[in-house]
Amino acid sequence: MCGIVGYLGSGSAVPVLVSELRSLEYRGYDSAGLAVIEDGNLRILKAAGKLSNLEHILKEQAPIATVGIGHTRWATHGEPTDRNAHPHTDEAKVVAVVHNGIIENYRELKDELLKKDYKFGSDTDTEVVAHLVSYYYKQNKDMLNAVRQAVSRLQGIYALAILSPAYPDRIFAVNHHYSLTVGLGENESFLASDGLAVRPYTNQLLRLEQSEIVELSSSGYKLYSFEGKEVKRSPITSEGSLYIIDKGGYKHFLLKEINEQPTVLRQTLAKYLPDTHKPVNLKKENKGLVNGLHTAGITLTKEQIKNIDRIQIVACGTALYSGMVGKYIIEALAQIPTEVEIASEIRGRKLLVNERTLTIAVSQSGETADTLAAIKEAKEAGSHTLGITNRPDSHLAHITTDLITTECGIEVSVASTKTYIAQLASFYLLGIYLAEEKGLLSPQKSAELKHQLHLIPTWQEKILSSSEDIRQAALKYSSAKDVVFMGRGFNYPTALEGALKLKELTYIHASGYAAGELKHGPIAVLDENVPVVTILVPGVVYEKTLSNALESKARQAKMIAVAVEDDKNVDSIFDTIMRIPTVDEFLSPLLTVIPLQLFAYFTAEALGKDVDQPRNLAKSVTVE
């Protein structure tokens, strides 16, 4: 995904644009650029790489301007180079465009424009939009109409901001199934892909709905449908607290967010589980929009729950792995058959869901295109839908019938950590709620489970206090070229998540397996150069997992364990042991992942990797 920003007012545009881009760097950082109107002309400054590269250019040649648009890029079409960096313009520099999303029919449009002798300077789909708007503007000298005619030709999901020296006091922006927020200040207006970027300047926010065009001026805005009909809608006053993007003394956001997990878990439990002796009551106080944000909770009635004959969970990446744990939780507590689907694998398939299916979409950002597409299909097929997200102002929050919002604050680091723990907590709470409503959980068992949940944050803190031991362990294996992670049952997803963390933070190839699967082929990769990380927790799969570890050891693999503190069996088998407090297998995923997060972090730090913004990644992938 990319980040779009804009400013228009009496102040200097460049500092505001840069500050807004800084807030959106999590959306992609392959290049950054901005377009301003200076002395009546369009001025474009852009650079491949991080925002700091653009800032370096701006130090040398800061334009004087009071209106501009900006962009931070995650490359989809065209390599991350200067020439492909946004903004893009037409040849005559009548129009500058920044773009988020994909223009699916850009090749057809590009061919049409090439036949009209238009010249292209980049490999991007975005540049097509600049030429198309310019083409229509030449015909009717009305920018709003030109924008409307151009977007009527576009296919795909996208958001755009457009600037023209012909309209030095206007910014035109388009939202088509994406996200764009307008901020309205005193004689100044702001624009950003994410409201958190404009919130430091104003709390008067207007979120563009699907297929809308806004004409921004310093005195306000006009909203239009794609058909050209004016839309009347007032901004909302955002009560959301200002999120100060600050490392809080930690070297990296990632380390800060790993250490925030006990607090995040306490906050999520406190919100949904205020008192261990009261039933988990996730019913909403008031469903619907409050200050533009969905209140959180579930409206599934006892009858509806009784009528659910299966659950389907759809997600990507780390969210997918939390959903896999969620499957084990829900089946164990509520005895509802639950499947987990990779959201991108649902595309093009007929979803066999109906009104007796509960489809749960898990997404930290609430903007992941694959996940949104999957949940929309499920909803169209009649399924009841539930979202679990960290962003109550996201698309996902607007689409699903019910919503559990996690209480993590903004997760800045691209690699998900604290939101994973909060997603797990949401599944434990949901599982308890469903089981209670189905009469499958006695008050005594329910109270005991809730009490155990409330103890977890303290146990997490105990693990975090042994971070130095884990750092020492990580340093021993930082030269590995391939690492295997394995676990069974509740900790099979933990193995997958541990492998993903190591891959995305260190670029070391790592694979996660169900421990029982290793002997069916993957064990062939093992030798003295391959560390094997085994997650061992006392419970029904402990013995078999230990056997799988011994099979690996017999192939000379370097043996690393995540094991409970009073497990003595592991001492003679493993070269390295990362200890966690003794915990019931059922709740262990809330603990076993933490040593693996720290293992990946310290390895990446030792290797000098870009911990908070790993190469090729973006915080949320809003393209399919």
* Residues forming the site for ligand AGP (CB under 6 A): 316-319, 363-365, 368, 371, 414-416, 504, 620-621
Short-list 591, 584, 540, 322, CA closest to 431? 322
Q: What minimum distance in Å lies between the beta carbon of 325 and ligand AGP?
A: 14
Six token digits for residue 481: 């070229």
Task: Dump the DSSP string for 539-564.
Answer: STTHHHHHHHHHHHHTTTPEEEEEEE
Six token digits for residue 589: 């995923």
Residue 619 falls in the annotated catalytic set: yes
Short-list 555, 556, 550, CA closest to 534? 550
d(CA 294, CA 289): 5
Q: What minimum distance in Å lies between the beta carbon of 344 and ligand AGP?
A: 10
Residue 14 or 319: the one with the smaller Cβ distance to ligand AGP is: 319
d(CA 253, CA 244): 12
Residue 218 or 613: the one with the smaller Cβ distance to ligand AGP is: 613
Sheet of 236-237: strand order equals 41-48, 31-38, 67-73, 3-8, 189-192, 181-184, 204-207, 236-237
Residue 148 or 501: the one with the smaller Cβ distance to ligand AGP is: 501
- Helix (H) / strand (E) containing 69: strand 67-73
Q: What minimum distance in Å lies between the beta carbon of 514 and ligand AGP?
A: 19
Residue 235 or 392: the one with the smaller Cβ distance to ligand AGP is: 392
Pairing of strands 384-389, 289-290: unpaired
- Supply the DSSP symbol for 314: E
Q: What minimum distance in Å lies between the beta carbon of 339 and ligand AGP?
A: 18
> What's the Cα-to-Cα distance from 199 to each of 100, 114, 174, 294, rounded to whole Å?
20, 41, 20, 18
Q: What minimum distance in Å lies between the beta carbon of 321 and ligand AGP?
A: 8
Q: What minimum distance in Å lies between the beta carbon of 372 and ligand AGP?
A: 9
Residue 368 or 426: the one with the smaller Cβ distance to ligand AGP is: 368
Q: Which of 46, 256, 609, 619 is catalytic?
A: 619
Dihedral of CA atoms 591, 266, 366, 417 in degrees, nearest 10, equals -30
- DSSP three-state, residue 230: strand
- Supply the DSSP symbol for 241: P
Residue 415 or 546: the one with the smaller Cβ distance to ligand AGP is: 415
Q: Which of 2, 503, 558, 609 is catalytic?
A: 2
Residues classed as catalytic = 2, 619
